[in-house]
Structure 1
Amino acid sequence: MSKQRALILFAHGARAASWAAPFERLRDLTRAREPSVRVELAFLELMSPRLPELMAALTADGIDDVTVVPVFLGQGGHVLRDLPLMLDELRATYPQTSIKVVEAAGENAAVLNALSDYCVSALS
């Protein structure tokens, strides 16, 4: 039986609903590129779904292979402390599900190069 995969874009969250718009566009672009993978957006706080409730929904739908991408520019306390604690709890709650996390988006060389390209293009 093949694994049912999901990719979770994990963002901070904010009080203003408009704050989520670029993350929703990122989710939609990623879904279009990976139609065989369930791509969802989850938040640490202030917005829904939060990561634990999304994991509950995914596992209920038979997802058993999850990759979490922190869409944070840097690895502050939320990525270094809060997320690992949440993932430990989720792994204990869903031991049948493979859950991996990758580096914060802003720590990735390709992301930084794309942002640098954008900044340089602002000079023209």
Structure 2
Amino acid sequence: MNQQKPTLLLIGHGSPDAAGNGEFIQFAADLAQHLGVATQPCFLELAEPSIGAGVALCVAQGATEILALPLFLGAGRHQKRDVPNLLAAAQAEHAGIVVRYGAPLGPQLHLVGVLAERAAAALATSRQAVSDEATALLLVGRGSKDPQSNAELARLARLLSEIHGYAIVEYAYQTVVPPDVGQALGRCVRLGAQRVVVLPYLLFAGFVRDDIVNQARLAQEHYPQIEILVGQHLFPHAGLLAATAFRYEELRDGMVQMNCASCSYRQHGDDGEHHHDH
């Protein structure tokens, strides 16, 4: 007797920007085709369907086992606390279903390769003759109150530098924690950069990307002597599909491992109570 495959519930953050949500929905369709698995997209907030509605749709289509995969770049509060709580509430409404929860994408080598190609594409548009030694890459993430999530950006920058041999690779955050784009660009200049490629470490289009582009524009006015280029975000590169497929296969095969040693929710949550139940 053939056993029904689990349904994949792909969880995006959600955005007030329709273009970003549209890219996520398209990615979910691409992933379903890539994996050959029934895939239901849903959003944590700001867009529909919600996580609870996504689970309900899976059940209505006959799912008895749901693999819930958070399409987040890093492990922060949403992935560690908010999504598990919402999944638990949804599971409680549907007796008999099994929900298994996966890990965020993290600084995978697949994504290092995507960033290297995004940098190469941006450099191909350069109008100035600048040596590789005087070219810097500036990796820019969203920024988080979670130290572990912020640290992963630094790790990714180091991987990008060592694997692909860039002379200068720095990192910055769009908001929440320093350095921002302007501050990090200043460091690149002090290190001798004459050209900087700003790489938005983001999944999809939206406000965050727009703000990174605006910060780069303002920095260009402050540093007119250098060339500042802005690369594309991760979607729709095939490497993003490969990175997500890896997390799906890990979840499917029961190999998910959470890195809890440095988790800020290990002892207490924002309200002082224990929330480390993932």
More helix by share: 1
| Counterpart in the other structure of 2:34 | 33
1:54-73 deviation per Cα after TM superposition (whole angstroms, max 9, x unaligned): 11122122111110110111
The CA distance in 2 between the partners of 1:19 and 1:55, in whole Å, is 22
Question: Given the superposition, is the C-alpha separation of residues 10 and 116 from structure 1 closer, same or farther in structure 2, using an over 3 Å criterion?
Answer: same
Give TM-score, length-normalised by structure 2.
0.40
1:24-65 deviation per Cα after TM superposition (whole angstroms, max 9, x unaligned): 232122111233x21121001110100101111221221111
Superposed counterparts of 1:1-124, under 5 Å: 2-35=3-36, 37-105=37-105, 107=106, 112-121=108-117, 122-123=119-120
Higher relative contact order (CA 8 A, sep 6+): 1
Residue identity matched to 1:40: Q
Across the aligned residues of Structure 1 and Structure 2, the Cα RMSD in angstroms comes to 1.8
1:96-124 deviation per Cα after TM superposition (whole angstroms, max 9, x unaligned): 1111011012x2x6xx2122112223246
Alignment identity in percent?
A: 24
- Deviation at residue 17 of structure 1 after TM alignment: 0.8
CA contact (8 A) 2:70 2:79 kept: yes
Unaligned runs of 5+ in 2: 124-278
CA contact (8 A) 2:9 2:66 kept: yes
- Paired residues in the alignment total 119
- Deviation at residue 75 of structure 1 after TM alignment: 1.2
Question: Given the superposition, is the C-alpha separation of residues 4 and 62 from structure 1 closer, same or farther in structure 2, using an over 3 Å criterion?
Answer: farther
Unaligned runs of 5+ in 1: none
Moved more, 62-71 or 112-121: 112-121
Residue identity matched to 2:69: V
The CA distance in 1 between the partners of 2:14 and 2:94, in whole Å, is 24
The CA distance in 2 between the partners of 1:33 and 1:116, in whole Å, is 21
Residue identity matched to 2:40: E
Segments ≥4 residues shifted beyond 4 Å = none
SS at match of 2:46: coil
State which structure, 1 or 2, has the greater radius of gyration over its C-alpha atoms.
Answer: 2
Residue identity matched to 1:10: I
The CA distance in 1 between the partners of 2:58 and 2:99, in whole Å, is 12
SS at match of 2:15: coil
CA contact (8 A) 2:9 2:55 kept: no
